[in-house]
Structures are given as structure tokens and as C-alpha cells.
Amino acid sequence: MKDRFNEGIRIEDARGTLREACSPLGADVDFNNYSILPGFTDVHVHLREPGFSYKGTIMAGTRAAAAGGFTHVLSMPNLDPVPDSLEHLRVQTEIIERDACISVHPLGSLTRGEKGLEVSEIEALAPYVAGFSDDGVGVMDDGLMKEAMERVKAAGSIVIAHCEDTRFPRESHEAEYRQLARDLDLAARTGCPFHMCHVSTAESIRLIREAKRAGLDVTVETAPHYLTLSNENLEDDGRFKMNPPIKTRRDRQVLLEALQDGTIDMIATDHAPHSAEEKAKGFAGSAYGIVGLETAFPVLYTKLVREGVLPLQRLVELLTTAPNQRFRIESRMPEETDPAPTFSVWDLEHPYRIRPEHFLSKGWSTPFEGWEVYGKCMMTVAGGKVVYKR
């Protein structure tokens, strides 16, 4: 089965295995003419709980992930309490154990309260988190970031950086790439593994390319909206407002080229639900953030694979293989004798329209509303359990 995965696996090749895995749970599915893909991994998800359950919850967020074919997510730490200590992390992990239907890997915060004033309890947290981030804000103090990197490196973990220099307008290219340049310099000096969140500019791609050529331990993600939209597509609507903002057509083209040549290592959604009220104030007045778990694969499959930008194998690598390797997540396609398979089942042949009112996420704000796409998730199985069935 693994040898035949290069273009996706036809369900006929694994029908017996899948029926055996699903029948105990009453998931009697007609697998004919569908395709099996791995369960995807999203390394950038805001589940909003604890602290902001009016925006989203771990239960709703993981159900939305399962509906999008995801079986692993990394949970960002901009929560209340911020997971800057074991005590605060435990508040989140108790909810995960109770309510999550897929695997959730929490991140610890780089600084206490994500305030950029004091480094978090890195050494205590490191065995229990997938890495460290102050996502949502950039760490402005150079000395503090250097200390954080040194301690993360010593703890055997990784820094996941939201690169935003607040001395520049958020919409500018400089806000992203100038802090990235600072962080790459610190990563080179400390030897700390470094991962950049949601790259959106051509200048940042140039810096990442140079860092990789120099041998730095660096990876980078981008998101579906940066690959399929430019600022020419923006409307006066909160569903087009995210951080970092969407950039120019040239930036989008550079990102696509970086996907093709391997400079960009993975795609993540930056799924960030808000209440309807927070996203109903036009572009200027709405909160930053959109949802993406339930639209990621359909949008990418339609706009990249079907239009010849990437082969399906490469898209799956970006959504599964690369994130799993970087963040040490074990996930595999089902074997004939696997007692607990993990996979997703897709109808790749029939188009449909994206309708947010059908989302399982508490937040519905997406720039892809109304798009006609291919790639309908029919079922997701995680560890032998059916976690989603259309």
C-alpha cells in the first residue's frame, strides 16, 4: 500500500482492512471510487480553549479538524491561562483528554503570558509540548529572544516564531521579514532549531533560502490563503482579515515557486475562529483571523493539484510527511494487519461549494466562502476510531 501511495490509494486496494477497522463502530461506508490519503497534520491551529470558548473549543476545533481530514494538530498557546508553566499547561491538557477527538499537541509559550518580558518555564515544559511559540505576537527584545533560543536548544525542543516587528505597519513586508532576519541570525548563533509561522512575503522566502543554504536548522510553513489569494482579491469584509495580511500577486507567485523547489516545507491553516460579532465589522474593524481546517485540502487540491501547480504526492508531503518529521509525530497509512489505522477517505471527483453554515467549527469566517472545489472528506479514522463520517 505504501508503494502505491504516490498518487493516492484507491480504496479497492484496502477495502477489507478499512471495513474491518470501521465495522465495530457502525461506520458502514461504501468505499468504491473513493481515495485514501493519510490523516493530515496541521502545525498551526488556534483551539481557543481555555480562555476564549466563545470563539472556539477543543471539542469543536478537533471535530472541524477531523472533518477536514486532519488527525494531528499543534495547538497555539495564546490562551488564558497561557501555557507558560506546567500548572497552566495542565488546564489545557485536561480539556484535551476529555474533549478532543484527534491528537492535539500543545505548544508552550516562549515568554510568560506571551508578554515578551520574561522567558517561560522552558525546561519544565519541554517534555510535554511540541515546541515553543509566542504566536500572535513577535518577541521584540533581542536579548530575550536569544535567551529563549538558548534554553529551548538546551531542552531539545524547537522555536516556532511568529515574525512581526511592531515598529512597522502590520500590512508592510518589513514587519515580517525584518524580524525574521533577526531570528535567523539568533538561530545561527545559538544553534536552536527554528520554524517560521505563516510566511507571506517574497523577502522572507529569500532569507529562508539563504539560511537553508548556510546549513541552519530551519523550516517554514505557509497557509492556503497566501497561496491562492492576493491583495487584489480583498473585499471590505472581515473574512479577508488575517495576520499576517495577504500580500501582492508577486508574493503569491514567489510562495508557489518556493513550494515547488522545497523552500517551503509544509502548509498549515492558522485556523483562528472568532465570534460572528467579531468578524462582522468590515475589513478595518474585524478581528484578525479566519478558519481553515475544513477548507484546506479542498482548496489546495482544487487550486494546486487540479491546476497542475503540484502533484498530489507533493501536497500530501506538505500536509503530512514534512510536519510529522519536523515535530516528531508518528502517523502512518494503514497496513493490512494494523489494529488501529489512521487515514482519511476522499471523493476527489465531484465538485461542491464551500458553505460555512455547514462547518463544525464555531467560527465560520473564511475567504473561500462560495468557492467551487473538489475534495470532499467522506470519513476520517484516527487510531482505529472513526472520528468523522459525512
Radius of gyration of the chain (CA): 20
pLDDT recorded at residue 3: 31
CATH class of 37-389: alpha beta
Alpha-carbon span 181 to 322, nearest angstrom: 23
Quick check: helix, strand or coil at residue 18?
helix
> Pairing mode, if any, of strands 343-347 and 376-382?
antiparallel
Residues 6 or more apart whose CB falls under 8 angstroms from that of 310 comprise 259, 260, 304, 318
Q: How far apart are the first and last CA of the chain?
A: 25
pLDDT recorded at residue 6: 38
Alpha-carbon span 137 to 267, nearest angstrom: 20
Helix (H) or strand (E) holding 206: helix 202-213
pLDDT recorded at residue 330: 83
Q: How is residue 129 written as a grid cell? A: 509540548
Contact 14, 1 (CB under 8 A): yes
Residues in the chain: 390
Helix (H) or strand (E) holding 173: helix 173-190
Rounding to the nearest 10 degrees, give the CA dihedral for residues 170, 111, 269, 367.
Answer: -30
Helix (H) or strand (E) holding 251: helix 249-261
Residue 311: CB atoms within 10 A of its CB come to: 13
- Residue pLDDT, tens place only, 201-226: 999 999 999 999 999 999 999 999 99
Burial class (CB in 10 A: 0-12, 13-18, 19+), 97: exposed
Q: Tell me which residue of 163, 268, 169 sits closest to 225, measured CA to CA.
A: 268
Burial class (CB in 10 A: 0-12, 13-18, 19+), 156: exposed
Q: Where are the domains of the chain?
A: 37-389
For the chain, which residues score pLDDT lower than 70? 1-31, 331-339
Helix (H) or strand (E) holding 150: helix 142-154
Record the pTM: 0.93
Q: Which residues are catalytic?
A: 270
pLDDT recorded at residue 47: 98
Alpha-carbon span 356 to 165, nearest angstrom: 33
